[in-house]
């Protein structure tokens, strides 16, 4: 039973790590693009910038950190639930 519990916790943790890697590839702002539009008239020039992930998805640091935070919370809750469930299933005294 202990091997099953250890395997379950390992699977949950590795799934969380894999999800964090996928979220980083999708949402980590690694590329910053900027543009500037000069005008002859004072005060009408415009400029802007966009951050993109490796895959070209428009993103921000906050989106990336939010995704990592959500993944961390789900992983911790799932691991604690699995640990609690295994304790109630295990009749051996502690």
Domain region containing 76: 2-89
The residue behind tokens 């964090």 is 20
- What local confidence, expressed as pLDDT, does residue 83 receive? 85
Q: What is the pLDDT of residues 6-15, one digit of tens each?
A: 888 899 999 9
Q: Does residue 94 form part of some domain?
A: no
3-state SS of 30-92?
Answer: CEEEEEEECCCCCCCCEEEEEEECCCCCEECHHHHHHHHHHHHHHHHHHHHHHHHHHHHHCCC
Q: Does residue 31 form part of some domain?
A: yes
Q: What is the pLDDT of residues 32-88, one digit of tens each?
A: 999 898 888 888 889 899 999 999 899 999 999 999 999 999 999 999 998 888 777
Q: Does residue 66 form part of some domain?
A: yes
- pTM equals 0.76
pLDDT higher than threshold 70 for residue 93: no
Domain tally, the chain: 1
Q: Does residue 35 form part of some domain?
A: yes
Q: Does residue 47 form part of some domain?
A: yes
Q: Does residue 32 form part of some domain?
A: yes
């Amino acid at each position: 039973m202990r091997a099953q519990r250890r395997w379950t916790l390992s699977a949950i943790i590795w799934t969380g790590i894999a999800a964090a890697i996928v979220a980083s590839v999708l949402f980590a702002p690694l590329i910053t693009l900027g543009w500037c539009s000069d005008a002859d008239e004072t005060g009408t020039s415009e400029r802007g910038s966009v951050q993109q992930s490796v895959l070209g998805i428009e993103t921000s640091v906050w989106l990336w950190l939010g995704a990592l935070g959500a993944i961390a919370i789900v992983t911790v809750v799932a691991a604690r639930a699995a640990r609690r469930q295994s304790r109630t299933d295990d009749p051996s005294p502690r």
